[in-house]
Structure formats: structure tokens, C-alpha cells
């Protein structure tokens, strides 16, 4: 009466569940926007989506019932023995990992990136901070590639569509309702799809590795250029493109006049107190039209 659920049934079940979870998220979004406004929804949208997923599983899996997708394709969750329904603790852990793990990873990486940009870690050197900032996108990409590898492995082996079910050890069995056995040609098609997905992951990994090595080489080149610039500055030499035309020294806090010429912020303001014009081209302008170039001097 029972047999191991096929790949197609598991995929259709998850597609059905995701459509209902998406509908529940939309309802929560509309409710939050109508009560608290759009600004609050933007601030808490990740938490609202997580609550929507947990609410769906609370009404189905945690209550001991099938999800809508599982009922749609006649499959049941079972433990590793494939002879018993998973315990309540196992089902609770599966739901928490499914909804909570992506949220926690997102929040942790987002918090780390904000902390590094705000320079709260005074004990970290600027070079190491820059390295960590460049590592955050790499970690995000690695997580995405790991998920794709897991999906490809599912297409090849037909087990554990979600990482949460692999961690907890929840399998699926199908109870026959007058259906014939599995389609071997369909399973072969999924295996081909799995190998194609693995090939894509491998190709993307090589591309990402190439870009990372390129960024490291550019970073080393920039560091050598900065060291050369410091050495030249110590010797009294300032490149023309980095020199302020008023003080004839390395430009500090670069500020652009409306005509496009660059000066030190303090130099050009002191100049404008006497003459409201560019010292080089004599283009007249009001002092409030000066533009301070943020983060310009770090490049």
C-alpha cells in the first residue's frame, strides 16, 4: 500500500505548499501595511515572511496533519525507519530550521556588514575590515551555490528536497490510490537535470573564484600604489592629479567647483571668502554650489 514517494510527487507537493505560503505572506503584508503603514512593513518584512511560513506549518505539520501539497499528491512524512510518523519534536525542529535558518543567516550577514561599515570593531585593522567586507558577498554566494548543490543531489537521489528535512531525517512515502509504479523515464530526466544543475554550479564556482582572485590582485595593486604614493609624499613629491592648486600639497577633503576643478575643502572656502570664483578658470559661482566629494580621497 505504501511506497517511497517519487521525485515528481515531492516537487509538486512543495510547489503547492509554496503557493499557499506565498498567499499567507501576502495576507500578512496587507494587514501589516493597513495597520502600521508601509514604513514599518519595510522594516519588518523578513520577520513577517518568517511568521507566515511558521503559521502555515503550525496549521498543518505541527498539528499532525498533512500540508495541502502533501494531501494533493497523497504523500506522508515518515521518520528514517519509514514505518512511523515523525515525532512532534522532530516536526517542530524541521519547521524551525526551514523557516528560521534562512532568516538567521540573512540577519547575521546583514548585521556583520553594517557593523563593519560603521567601523564599530576598533580592534580590527582597516585591511582586515576591508577583507571581511569583501567576504560577505562571497559567503552569500556560497550559501546559494550550496543550496543548488543540495537541489541537484535531490534530483539525482530523490530524497530530501529541503535541507531542513535532511537535517531532521524526514522522508516521504506515498500511499497508492490505484496508481501505477513510478515512471523510469521521468526519473532519468530528473537525473539529467541534476547533472546539468551540478555543471552550472561548478561553472559558477569557477567564475566566482576568478572574480575573487581578480579582486585580490586589484587590492594588492592598489596597496602597492598607495605605498608608492606615501613614499613619494614623504619625499616631497605629490602627483599633479592629487595636488591642490591653492596650497600645492596633497588634496584633503576634495571639493569640486561647478566648473569641475578640484581643491581642498578648507582652501577653496577660504578663497571664496575673498573671491567667489574658480582660482584656475575664473568661473564665477556662489559658495553654496561647492560639492564635497565623499569617499573620493580613499581611491
Q: What is the DSSP string of 240-275?
A: GGGB-TTT-SB--SEEE-TTS-EEEHHHHHHHHTT-
Q: Over the stretch 101-112, which tens digit does the pLDDT of each residue have?
A: 989 998 898 888
Q: Are 172 and 75 in contact (CB under 8 A)?
A: yes
3-state secondary structure of 172: strand
Q: Per-residue pLDDT averaged across 87-91, rounded?
A: 92
Q: How far apart are CA 147 and CA 151, in angstroms?
A: 6
Between CA 17 and CA 136 the distance in angstroms is 31
Taking only the tens place, the pLDDT of each residue in 216-261 is 666 555 555 555 544 444 444 455 667 888 877 778 788 898 888 8
Among 241, 231, 217, 257, smallest CA distance to 297 is for 241
Domains of the chain: 2-222 (no CATH), 241-292 (3.30.40.10)
Per DSSP, the three-state class of 239 is: coil
Which residues on adjacent β-strands are paired with residue 173?
4, 76
Rounded to 10 degrees, what is the CA torsion of 229, 235, 241, 243? 120
Please give the backbone phi and psi of residue 78, each rounded to the nearest 5 degrees, phi first. Answer: -135, 165
pLDDT classification of 120: cutoffs 50, 70, 90 = low
Report which of 27, 158, 163, 37 is spatially closest to residue 101, judged by C-alpha positions: 163
**pLDDT, mean over the chain:** 81
- The pLDDT, as a whole number, for residue 36 is 87
The distance from CA 268 to its chain's CA centroid, rounded to whole angstroms, is: 42
Percent share of the chain, pLDDT over 70: 83
Query: Comparing C-alpha atoms, which of 164, 161, 205 is closest to residue 8?
Result: 161
Mean pLDDT along residues 20-38? 88
The pLDDT score that the predictor gives to residue 222 is 52
Q: What is the pTM of this model?
A: 0.65
What's the sign of the alpha-carbon dihedral 18, 19, 22, 27? negative
Q: Determine phi and psi for 268, rounding to 5 degrees.
A: -70, -30
Angle subtended at Cα 298 by Cα 296 and Cα 299, rounded to the nearest 5 degrees: 80
DSSP H or E stretch at residue 78:
strand 75-78
* DSSP annotation of 79: -
Q: Work out the average pLDDT over 19-29.
A: 91
pLDDT greater at residue 73 or residue 274: 73
pLDDT digits (tens, 9 = 90+) for 128-175: 777 787 788 888 888 888 888 999 999 988 888 999 999 999 999 988
Whether the pLDDT of residue 289 is over 50: the answer is: yes
**Helix or strand run (H / E) with residue 62:** none
pLDDT at 92 over 90: yes
pLDDT of residue 121: 62
Amino acid at each position: 500500500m505504501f511506497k517511497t514517494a517519487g521525485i515528481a510527487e515531492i516537487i509538486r507537493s512543495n510547489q503547492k505548499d509554496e503557493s499557499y505560503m506565498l498567499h499567507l505572506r501576502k495576507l500578512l503584508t496587507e494587514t501589516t501595511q493597513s495597520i502600521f503603514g508601509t514604513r514599518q512593513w519595510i522594516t519588518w518584512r523578513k520577520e513577517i515572511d518568517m511568521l507566515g511560513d511558521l503559521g502555515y506549518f503550525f496549521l498543518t505539520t505541527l498539528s499532525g496533519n498533512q500540508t495541502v501539497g502533501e494531501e494533493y499528491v497523497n504523500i506522508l512524512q515518515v521518520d528514517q525507519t519509514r514505518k512511523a510518523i515523525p515525532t512532534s519534536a522532530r516536526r517542530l525542529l524541521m519547521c524551525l530550521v526551514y523557516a528560521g535558518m534562512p532568516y538567521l543567516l540573512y540577519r547575521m550577514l546583514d548585521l556583520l556588514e553594517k557593523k563593519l561599515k560603521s567601523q564599530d570593531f576598533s580592534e580590527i585593522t582597516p585591511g582586515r575590515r576591508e577583507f571581511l567586507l569583501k567576504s560577505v558577498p562571497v559567503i552569500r554566494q556560497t550559501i546559494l551555490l550550496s543550496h543548488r548543490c543540495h537541489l541537484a543531489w535531490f534530483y539525482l537521489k530523490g530524497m530530501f528536497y529541503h535541507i531542513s528535512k535532511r537535517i531532521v531525517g524526514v522522508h516521504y512515502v506515498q500511499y497508492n490510490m490505484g496508481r501505477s509504479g513510478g515512471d523510469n523515464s521521468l526519473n532519468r530526466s530528473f537525473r539529467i537535470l541534476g547533472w546539468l544543475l551540478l555543471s552550472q554550479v561548478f561553472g559558477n564556482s569557477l567564475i566566482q573564484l576568478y572574480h575573487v582572485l581578480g579582486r585580490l590582485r586589484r587590492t594588492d595593486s592598489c596597496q602597492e600604489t598607495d605605498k608608492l604614493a606615501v613614499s613619494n609624499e614623504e619625499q616631497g613629491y605629490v602627483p599633479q592629479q592629487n595636488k591642490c592648486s591653492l596650497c600645492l600639497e596633497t588634496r584633503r577633503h576634495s571639493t569640486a567647483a561647478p566648473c569641475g576643478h578640484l581643491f581642498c575643502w578648507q582652501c577653496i572656502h577660504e578663497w571664496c571668502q575673498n573671491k567667489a570664483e574658480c582660482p584656475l578658470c575664473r568661473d564665477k559661482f556662489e559658495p553654496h554650489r561647492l560639492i564635497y566629494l565623499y569617499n573620493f580621497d580613499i581611491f
